[in-house]
Structures are given as structure tokens and as C-alpha cells.
Structure 1
């Protein structure tokens, strides 16, 4: 299996975990503002994950990736069923050849750019997704009906360390 194929599989696995989460969460809990997040909801964290992946897929052809240009679609943060459809579509939309990209970000009114690759951005999005899944897991601990895997929101490197250390 090639390096890019391994990345596709790793991202598909992380997104499948998100699918499992979205299939369980009740809409009212998804939209509810969590005290853990200040003024954000679980749905807003899921929207954030999805829109980063969408940026990567939709801006790939242009060769310039700017995560600042997210849609911020409120339906994604209010409707877990809609978010679920988007995630399922992303799992195949991200199967693209590796190539050089330009990463652009706005900071303090200035545009900054850096050369990157599609595979590097897949790695970034995967870790970004896991990071937000970890926060969401904390917010759902009070929801007795949620059954998340023990490793939900745990980085791959941490999982592998735990396995090798017998933990």
C-alpha cells in the first residue's frame, strides 16, 4: 500500500468514527451550547471539522488551500443528519492524487503563504479532526446514551504507544 493510500485509509477511519458519533447524537444535544466550550456547541465543533476537510477537497483543483475561506454553514452545526451526509461524501471526495499546493492564511490583515502538499494537508486534517473529537468526547460524557469507543478522540500515535506499552 502506498503512503497516500495509507493516508486515505487513516482519514477514512477517523471520519468513520465521526460518522458513528453523528449517528448517535440527539439533535438537541448536538445544538446545545456546552459550558466546556464557552459559547460553542458540539455541532459547531463538528461543522469546523467538516468544513476544513471540505476546503481541502474543494480547493484542491485550484492548488491553493485557504481554510479561512470556509462556508460556515450553520445547518452543519444544527442538523447532525446533514453533517452525517457531508462526512460520508467526504470519505470518497478526498481520494485524490498527491500534489504540491499553496497554503494561504490571513493573519492580522496580511496574507501569508507556504508551500505544502495534499498528503501533508490530509495529515493535518486528520490530526485536527482527532483534536476536536477529543473535545467533543468530553462534552458528551454527561450523555448516558452515547457509546463512543475508548479511543475516540485519541491520536494514532498515542494509541500505538499504549498498545506497545501494554496499556
Structure 2
């Protein structure tokens, strides 16, 4: 039986996504512009800004898809301001976190979605999906890119908060293991 204070499952997915975006914004807000936008050859030519833009635009595609019923993650704007200007990126992350929380309040009016897998122009290019499935995907996808951001920050000698770039389920598992081992002691 779930805990009395546990949030409904899909609501937790909205909250976890919004919280991850807010943590990312908080981590980046004091970063120097050069450190944010500089490409690092040690990480396959990626930059903190590039990873951030990529994630922001996936959420933008998701939110647009909530309105249209069709999500096309390839239809990203590829906004160089998000990639190169840390203040612009932080504002975008916070705005999307707010939109995700607002969408949570409307979740009972949301319908099944379709996500595009191919671009042949056929209706068979689109697969059925759900808001929950896409939120799971976005969370996993963003955590992966946050892990890469954490590596880039550490390569620059920066301290990264414990758990940043780690999946929420892994953090919960570690906490449970720690609690279990402290009880056994």
C-alpha cells in the first residue's frame, strides 16, 4: 500500500522533471559564460551549453506536443542563445519547469499522444505513447545529459552537488541501502 503522503504516480513524474530542471538552472546560474559555452574536445566536442540546449528543446517539443497531440523531438529550434548564453538558458530551464508544473494540474484532461519515429510523411511514422511514458523518457534523457554536464564541470575543476546527473531511482536506492546498513549496525 502506498504511503499516505506519496504523490500520485504521474504527478511525481511531473515533479521530478521540474525539480531536475530547477536543479540544473541553479547549478548553471553562477557559471561564467566562457565555461558554459566552450566546447571541450575531451568530451567528444560537447559543451555545457550544447547539452543544456538539447534538453531544453526536448522539453519544448514535449510541451508543444501536449497541445497538438503529436510530439516531434526532431523539430527542435536549435536556439544558439540557449547554447551560448547561460542567463538565457537558466531562464529557459526555469520557465519550462514552471510549464511542467502547470501541465501537472491539467493532466486529467490530457489524452494519449503520438510520437514520430520516422519522417517518411506517412501516418505510420507516428507511434502511440502517453504523457507518463514521455515524462519518463525526458527524465532519463535529461539525467543522462546532466551526467555529461557534471563531467564537463569536474574537468574544469568545479564542484558538482552530490547526486547531480544521477537518476532519481538510483538516489532513492542508495538512500534505502544507506538506511538499511545503518539499521544493521
Query: How many residues get paired?
Result: 165
Q: How does 1:12-161 map to 2 (within 5 A)?
A: 12-94=18-100, 95-96=102-103, 97=107, 98-106=110-118, 112-144=125-157, 146-161=158-173
Q: Which runs of 5+ in 2 are unaligned?
A: 1-6
Matched residue SS, 1:81: helix
1:35 & 1:164 partners in 2: Cα distance? 38
Alpha-carbon RMSD across the aligned residues, in angstroms, is 1.8
Higher helix share: 2
SS in 2 for 1:69: coil
* Contact 1:135/1:153, CA 8 A, preserved across alignment: yes
CA distance in 1, matches of 2:59, 2:111: 16
**Alpha-carbon distance in structure 1 between the residues aligned to 2:163 and 2:30:** 17
- The normalised TM-score by structure 2 is 0.82
SS at match of 1:61: helix
Larger Rg: 2
| Larger proportion of strand | 1
